[in-house]
């Protein structure tokens, strides 16, 4: 059950295809080479070359054949191998589950792989975007820083380097405003001067305002509007101050504030003058705006310091401080807006100088995604560390591709699994169906057997009462009846007989179908059988005026071994059909050996109408056997292989209405007739031909026919028999056989006057059987002439009625003119009873003998005996009714009847006693055995089969065992031979009595050593048949 | 009743037995077996049949009334009854037996009971009729007549 079968099937198909290819190619190669070789031979005519090509061809052929042979071998082997491996269902289910699990895993892996790929790509994108942003920010910052630095140099040059200063607040603010495009990141710049405490008063006076502190401001941040620089406290006394003197307009509010007083600023300022580089504050909320900002501070020195100057020197040289305010938030925003795809990512900037507490400089804190890229920012201040963190704004999109791919894989795998599952379940179902079908088939076969059994039983059951009916009718015929009554009874009897024969046919059909029909193997006289069949139909043929004739070839042996009954049945069927459908002309049965036919087949010309029996055209008989398998071209060789077998070919030719062409194909189908009207006009079941076909088949023959509508039909069949004649017997007496009753005609001579060779041949055949030598002449005159010149006497002249009617006058005149010395007997061969004999001939002469056809040996002999007055003796034995003969047979016989049923016992005993037998009864098999110990005192034993304790079979077996033992002893001379001393061995005829006459029982009877069986209740004929079989012979030995 | 009339009525009666299918041709054969050497053959056989059948029917009733019916015992009885009834030509009894045996094979207890009733019924019918027949015959013989040969009557 399985995919393996499917695979096997696929292999098979592949193999077929492969074979086809091989075949095609080899064919192609062969043909191609053949063509070529032909061409070569034609053009060059060189023997060598043809040899070469043929060799090549052989090689190629070998090669291809080898391939095709190997191709043949392998797949068939594997197919068988696969086919023989059986897997159970559970195994398959597991396999499917494993398959599904495997593919689920594969699809998960695919999903994971694809989504990780996507993630990687996303990360890369983020990294590049983030780095790009960081770099730009850094660049711009650096640019701004450079400008701030440049400004510090400007201050040192123009404020401190010139006296008086070239820069005042107005100039500064104007200048810075106009150059602010160079510092895109700064929102404003301011300059604070270094003022020592000692210089404070001087400074305050010079500027016109006092230095104010800003730490208080930082502690209480105020709003922009409320900001009032005047309200700020003056700075307390410090060692030094850094008041803002110049400021860009955007940050003008810081003027006069002491930078050192701000915490961030102070640190920044100190760090800047110490390092001499730009220094950044931590981000803090800016004054007034309160936005996050970073201040970049540069120190302005009095003179140019070397790069390796110490911090102390730097502090000493410090003149002031320049600060740039970076409004990070707006700046970064501006920057990002310049870049593409700003929507997609979220940027945060942190000051991470203190690692544990990064200060956010830009960006919101909403966390969108776990994925984050950190890029370091270097703003030129090593002390401060900044970094940019980038994230995608949107969550990552659904991984559609990977999902689709994995889902697709999963779907395909599931589909495959489904297909496998469906296939497996389908195979299972088909197997179950097949199993079911097999059971149904068995049932149907059983039903068929039952049907046949039923038919057999029913037929048998009908036959029994019908026999009663027929018997009663027969008896009724013997009583005194008036004409009408007799007619009724005859009709009833004919109908009854027809019914019985129909039932027999149905029974035969049923037997054939159930395969129970077996042929006998007995010696029989073929010619006798044909005579019988002929007499059966003689009445009808005479009535119709149809000529009926039989011709059997000389070479057909006198005795054959086969089943005469079945052979007769075939013949009867065919002839019955023929006679049914023939209104005028003839029915001609010929029997030949098949070999004979072949010998003559070439010489035989198409038969002209004149050469047929009645002069009417007939169907071409050759066509009737042209389909026989055994006759095919090589056929008749096969017949010669088995000389002891006699192959007969029998043809039944008629000049009837023929078979319509459209019906010819179904002529051998059971219950099939040409048309419904046929059965109405001619009767019959249409079963006969089909039975005949089966019987012919059983006789190892074939049946065929040829038919021409309105001309006639010829049915031909062959049958195989064994030769019933001993070879020696044949040699000793080739001419005549053991038919002593015909011996009185031997040596006689007859002249047949007939112008139709076929008919003359039939006459010749029949007279020759009687030992009469026959001369055929076509005309009367010739007959007379022959008689005159003939050296030997002619005993009789046979004249066909046809000729007689035509030439009687001539004949009579001639006879009157020259009377013959020894006038032969004149015999007319007539077709019907009403033949007229001219009165002229009859006067003063014996009336001619009229033989009414069909000719048959016994009838012919009887008529001739009567007509010629020779051997006028009665047949030696009187054929009385069976009851009488039975009485003769059974009189005084001692018979044992064994039956457990008292009534049956009594009845059987009564029946046998009536025939004069001496009857002893036994009620059981055991008692029978005790009575039947050899030497037997009984002549026969009738044994019931079904008995309690010991049935008939068992009892018979035991009796046979005892007999065998005794026989052995007799052989060895141990036992005393009593009474019937001449008996070489003991064998008591044991007949089964049974109500059941089914074949199987019959066979069983024989198997157990019984000699036959009679049905219960006894029927005289059957009893006679069985009893006569062994009493005849035994009476010979005894008397 | 004069002799001729008696003979006529016997003939008619016998005929009716055949027409009703109670007897079949086997009974005729039985009658044919009767001759001078064995003048009471038919009545002997029939009496034997009655004795046997009474016993068999009794046994059958007993067997079928058992709690567990042993069909191996039932079947031979029916077989025997069938054999003897067919031997004397009691057609309807025989047919009932055939049906009975079929049900025995199927081991159908209920149907067997029904069949037994049927067989009994047929048996008593044939017994009744045959007894009447013999009575008529005896009357004829007693009044010095011959029992007419039945088989020619129809």
Residue pLDDT, tens place only, A951-993 = 788 888 888 888 888 888 877 766 555 544 445 567 788 888 7
Q: What is the pLDDT of residues A699-720, one digit of tens each?
A: 888 888 888 888 888 899 999 8
For the cut 90, the answer to whether the pLDDT of residue A439 exceeds it is yes
Strand partners, A898: A922, A943
Are the C-beta atoms of A894 and A918 separated by less than 8 Å? yes
Write out chain A residues lying below 8 Å of B23, CB-based.
Answer: none
Among B25, B38, B45, the residue with its CB nearest the CB of A903 is B45
pLDDT-derived band of residue A876, with 50, 70 and 90 as boundaries? Answer: very low
A852 phi, psi to nearest 5 deg: -90, 125
Q: Do B45 and A900 touch (CB under 8 A)?
A: no
Distance CA B71, CA B103 (A): 10
Q: What is the pLDDT of residues A669-698, one digit of tens each?
A: 776 655 555 555 555 556 778 888 888 888
Query: What sign results for the dihedral spanned by CA atoms A335, A337, A339, A343?
Result: positive
Instruction: Identify the pLDDT of residue A380.
Output: 74
Q: Do B48 and A903 touch (CB under 8 A)?
A: yes
For the cut 70, the answer to whether the pLDDT of residue A950 exceeds it is yes
What is the percent of chain A where pLDDT is above 90?
3
Q: What is the pLDDT of residues A784-795, one digit of tens each?
A: 777 776 666 777
pLDDT-derived band of residue A568, with 50, 70 and 90 as boundaries? Answer: confident
Instruction: Identify the pLDDT of residue A73.
Output: 46
More confident residue, B4 or B93: B93
Q: Do B83 and A913 touch (CB under 8 A)?
A: no
pLDDT-derived band of residue A382, with 50, 70 and 90 as boundaries? Answer: confident
Measured between CB atoms, does B76 come within 8 Å of chain A? yes
**Interface pTM, i.e. ipTM:** 0.81
Mapped onto helix, strand or coil, the DSSP state of residue A944 is strand
Measured between CB atoms, does B26 come within 8 Å of chain A? yes
Are the C-beta atoms of A652 and A589 separated by less than 8 Å? yes
Structural domain contains residue B152: no
Q: Do A904 and B48 touch (CB under 8 A)?
A: no
> Has domain A521-598+609-632+643-673+684-723 been given CATH number 2.40.50.180?
no
CATH of domain A882-1032: 3.40.50.2300
What is the percent of chain A where pLDDT is above 70?
74
Are the C-beta atoms of A754 and A803 separated by less than 8 Å? yes
Domain boundaries, chain A: 132-220+229-391, 444-511, 521-598+609-632+643-673+684-723, 749-868, 882-1032
Query: What sign results for the dihedral spanned by CA atoms B131, B133, B137, B143?
Result: positive
Distance CA A427, CA A433 (A): 9
Among B24, B37, B52, the residue with its CB nearest the CB of A468 is B24
DSSP A199: G
Residues 98-127 of B with CB under 8 A from A: none
For the cut 90, the answer to whether the pLDDT of residue A432 exceeds it is yes
Q: What is the mean pLDDT of chain A?
A: 74
Among B44, B51, B152, the residue with its CB nearest the CB of A479 is B152
CATH number at residue B115: 1.20.120.160
Write the Ramachandran bin of A561: left for phi over 0, alpha for psi from -120 to 50, otherwise beta: beta
Measured between CB atoms, does A1015 come within 8 Å of chain B? no
Cα→Cα distances A570→A517, A563, A717, Å:
14, 11, 9
Q: What is the pLDDT of residues A501-521, one digit of tens each?
A: 777 777 777 777 767 777 878
Q: Which residues of A835-850 are buried (b: 16+ CB within 10 A; e: fewer)?
A: beeeeebeeeeeebbb
Among B32, B52, B79, the residue with its CB nearest the CB of A902 is B52
Write out chain B residues lying below 8 Å of A910, CB-based.
Answer: 30, 33-34, 38, 41, 45
Write out chain A residues lying below 8 Å of B90, CB-based.
Answer: none
Residue with tokens 């059974």: A890
Instruction: Identify the pLDDT of residue A899.
Output: 83
Distance CA A614, CA A654 (A): 10
Among A472, A910, A995, the residue with its CB nearest the CB of B33 is A910
Cα→Cα distances A910→A917, A920, A921, Å:
10, 11, 11
Measured between CB atoms, does B48 come within 8 Å of chain A? yes
Structural domain contains residue B133: yes
- The DSSP annotation for A154-173 comes to HHIIIIISSSS-S--HHHHH
Lowest mean pLDDT among A76-80, A385-389, A587-591: A76-80
Distance CA A58, CA A81 (A): 34
Cβ burial of A66 (10 Å; 0-12, 13-18, 19+) is exposed
Q: What is the pLDDT of residues A212-262, one digit of tens each?
A: 877 655 555 544 445 555 566 777 777 888 888 888 888 777 788 888 877
Chosen CATH of A132-220+229-391 out of 1.10.10.10, 3.30.450.350, 3.40.50.2300, 3.50.50.60: 3.30.450.350
Q: Do A1017 and B79 touch (CB under 8 A)?
A: no
Instruction: Identify the pLDDT of residue A637.
Output: 46
Lowest mean pLDDT among A37-41, A291-295, A557-561, A857-861: A37-41
Listed in sequence order, the residues at least 6 apart from A62 whose beta carbon sits closer than 8 Å to its beta carbon are: none
Number of domains in chain B: 1
A599 phi, psi to nearest 5 deg: -65, -35
CA-wise closest residue to A770 among A841, A855, A854: A855
Q: What is the mean pLDDT of chain B?
A: 82
Q: Decide if A521-598+609-632+643-673+684-723 and A749-868 have a common fold.
A: no
Measured between CB atoms, does B39 come within 8 Å of chain A? no
Give the mean pLDDT of A554-570. 86
Distance CA A432, CA A884 (A): 66
For the cut 80, the answer to whether the pLDDT of residue A896 exceeds it is yes
CATH of domain A749-868: 3.40.50.2300
Q: What are A280-285's contacts with CB under 8 Å, separation 24+?
A: A280/A379, A280/A381, A280/A383, A280/A384, A282/A351, A282/A353, A282/A359, A282/A384, A283/A328, A283/A351, A283/A359, A283/A360, A283/A361, A285/A221
Structural domain contains residue B137: yes
A823 phi, psi to nearest 5 deg: -75, 125
Cβ burial of A251 (10 Å; 0-12, 13-18, 19+) is buried
Instruction: Identify the pLDDT of residue A37.
Output: 42
């Amino acid at each position: 059950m399985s995919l393996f079968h499917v695979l096997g099937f696929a292999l098979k198909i592949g193999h077929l295809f492969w074979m086809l290819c091989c075949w095609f190619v080899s064919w192609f190669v062969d043909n191609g080479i053949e063509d070529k070789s032909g061409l070569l031979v034609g053009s060059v005519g060189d023997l060598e070359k043809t040899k070469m090509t043929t060799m090549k061809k052989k090689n190629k052929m070998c090669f291809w054949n080898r391939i095709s042979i190997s191709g043949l071998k392998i797949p068939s082997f594997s197919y068988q191998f696969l086919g023989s491996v059986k897997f159970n269902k559970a195994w398959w289910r597991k396999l499917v589950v494993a398959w599904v699990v495997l593919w689920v895993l594969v699809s998960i892996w695919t999903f994971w792989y694809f989504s990780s790929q996507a993630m990687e790509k996303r990360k890369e994108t983020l990294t590049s975007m983030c780095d790009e942003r960081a770099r730009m920010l850094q660049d711009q910052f650096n640019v701004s820083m450079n400008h701030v630095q440049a400004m510090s140099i400007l201050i040192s040059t123009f404020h401190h380097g010139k006296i008086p200063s070239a820069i005042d607040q107005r100039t500064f603010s104007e200048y810075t405003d106009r150059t602010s495009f160079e510092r895109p990141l700064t929102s404003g710049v301011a300059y604070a001067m270094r003022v020592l405490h000692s210089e404070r008063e001087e400074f305050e006076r010079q500027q016109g305002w006092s230095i104010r502190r800003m730490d208080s401001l930082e502690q209480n941040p105020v709003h922009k509007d409320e900001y009032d620089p005047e309200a700020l406290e003056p700075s307390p006394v410090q060692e030094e101050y850094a008041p803002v003197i110049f400021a860009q307009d955007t940050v003008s509010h810081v003027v006069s504030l002491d930078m050192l007083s701000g915490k961030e600023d102070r640190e920044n300022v100190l760090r800047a003058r110490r390092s001499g580089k730009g220094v950044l504050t931590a981000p803090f909320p800016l004054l007034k705006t309160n936005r996050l900002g970073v201040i970049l501070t540069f120190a302005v020195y009095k003179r140019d310091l070397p790069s390796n100057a110490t911090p102390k020197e730097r502090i000493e040289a410090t003149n002031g401080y320049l600060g740039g305010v970076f409004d990070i938030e707006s700046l970064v925003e501006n920057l990002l807006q310049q870049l593409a795809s700003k929507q997609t990512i979220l940027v945060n900037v942190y000051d991470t100088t203190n690692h544990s507490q990064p200060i956010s400089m830009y960006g919101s804190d909403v966390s969108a995604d776990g994925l984050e890229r950190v890029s370091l920012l270097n703003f030129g201040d090593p002390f401060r560390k900044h970094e940019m963190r980038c994230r995608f704004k949107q969550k990552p999109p659904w991984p559609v591709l990977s999902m689709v791919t994995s889902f697709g894989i999963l779907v395909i795998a599931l589909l495959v699994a489904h297909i496998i599952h469906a296939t497996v379940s389908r195979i299972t179902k088909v197997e179950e169906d097949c199993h079911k079908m097999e059971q149904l088939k068995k049932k149907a076969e059983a039903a068929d057997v039952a049907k046949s059994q039923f038919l057999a039983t029913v037929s048998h059951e009908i036959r029994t009462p019908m026999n009663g009916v027929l018997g009663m009718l027969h008896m009724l015929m013997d009583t005194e009846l008036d004409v009408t009554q007799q007619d009724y009874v005859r009709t009833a009897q004919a109908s009854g007989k027809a019914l019985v024969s129909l039932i027999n046919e149905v029974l035969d059909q049923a037997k054939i179908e159930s395969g129970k029909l077996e042929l006998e193997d007995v010696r029989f006289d073929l010619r006798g059988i044909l005579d019988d069949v002929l007499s059966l139909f003689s009445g009808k043929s005479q009535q119709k005026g149809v000529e009926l004739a039989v011709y059997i070839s000389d070479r057909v042996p006198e005795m054959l071994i086969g089943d005469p009954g079945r052979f007769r049945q075939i013949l009867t069927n065919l002839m019955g059909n023929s006679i049914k459908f023939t209104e005028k002309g003839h029915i001609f049965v010929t029997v030949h050996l098949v070999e004979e036919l072949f010998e003559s087949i070439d010489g035989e010309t198409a038969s002209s109408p004149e050469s047929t029996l009645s002069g009417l055209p007939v169907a071409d008989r050759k066509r009737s056997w042209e389909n026989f398998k055994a006759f095919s071209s090589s056929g008749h060789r096969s017949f010669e292989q088995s000389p002891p077998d006699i192959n007969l070919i029998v043809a039944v030719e008629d000049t009837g209405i023929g078979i319509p062409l459209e019906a010819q194909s179904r002529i051998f189908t059971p219950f099939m007739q040409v048309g419904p009207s046929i059965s109405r006009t001619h009767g019959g079941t249409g079963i006969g031909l089909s039975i005949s076909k089966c019987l012919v088949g059983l006789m190892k023959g074939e049946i065929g026919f040829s038919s021409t509508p309105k001309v006639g039909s010829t049915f031909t069949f062959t049958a195989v028999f064994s030769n019933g004649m001993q070879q020696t017997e044949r040699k000793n007496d080739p001419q005549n056989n053991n038919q002593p009753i015909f011996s009185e005609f031997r040596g006689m001579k007859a002249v047949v006057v007939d112008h139709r060779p076929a008919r003359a041949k039939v006459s010749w055949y029949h007279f020759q059987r009687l030992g009469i030598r026959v001369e055929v002449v076509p005309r009367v005159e010739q007959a007379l002439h022959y008689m005159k010149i003939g050296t030997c006497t002619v005993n009789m002249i046979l004249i066909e009625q046809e000729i007689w009617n035509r030439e009687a006058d001539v004949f009579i005149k001639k006879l009157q003119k020259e009377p013959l010395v020894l006038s032969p007997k004149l015999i007319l061969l007539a077709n019907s009873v009403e033949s007229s004999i001219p009165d002229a001939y009859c006067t003063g002469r014996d009336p001619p003998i009229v033989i009414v056809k069909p000719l048959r040996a016994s009838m012919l002999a009887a008529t001739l005996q009567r007509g010629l007055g020779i051997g006028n003796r009665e047949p030696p034995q009187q054929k009385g009714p069976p009851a009488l003969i039975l009485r003769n047979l059974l009189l005084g016989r001692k018979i044992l009847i064994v039956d457990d049923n008292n009534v049956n016992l009594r009845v059987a005993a009564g029946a046998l006693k009536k025939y004069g037998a001496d009857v002893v009864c036994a009620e059981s098999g055991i008692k029978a055995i005790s009575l039947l110990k050899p030497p037997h005192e009984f002549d026969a034993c009738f044994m019931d089969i079904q008995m309690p304790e010991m049935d008939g079979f068992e009892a018979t077996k035991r009796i046979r065992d005892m007999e065998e033992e005794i026989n052995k002893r007799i052989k060895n001379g141990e036992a005393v031979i009593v009474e019937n001393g001449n008996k070489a061995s003991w064998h008591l005829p044991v007949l089964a009595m049974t109500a059941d006459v089914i074949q199987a029982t019959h066979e069983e009877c024989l198997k157990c050593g019984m000699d036959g069986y009679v049905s219960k209740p006894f029927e005289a004929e059957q009893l006679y048949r069985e009893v006569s079989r062994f009493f005849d012979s035994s009476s010979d030995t005894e008397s | 009743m004069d002799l001729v009339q008696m003979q006529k009525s016997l003939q008619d009666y016998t005929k009716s037995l055949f027409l009703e299918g109670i007897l079949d041709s086997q009974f005729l054969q039985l009658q044919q077996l009767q001759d001078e050497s064995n003048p009471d053959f038919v009545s002997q056989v029939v009496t034997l049949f009655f004795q046997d059948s009474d016993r068999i029917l009794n046994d059958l009733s007993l067997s079928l009334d058992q709690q567990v019916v042993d069909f191996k015992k039932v079947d031979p009885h029916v077989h025997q009854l069938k054999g003897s009834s067919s031997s004397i030509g009691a057609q309807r009894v025989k047919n009932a037996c055939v049906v009975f045996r079929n049900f025995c094979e199927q081991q159908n207890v209920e149907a067997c009971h029904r069949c037994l009733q049927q067989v009994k019924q047929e048996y008593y019918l044939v017994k009744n009729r045959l007894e009447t027949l013999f009575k008529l015959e005896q009357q004829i013989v007693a009044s010095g007549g011959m029992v007419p040969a039945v088989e020619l009557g129809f």
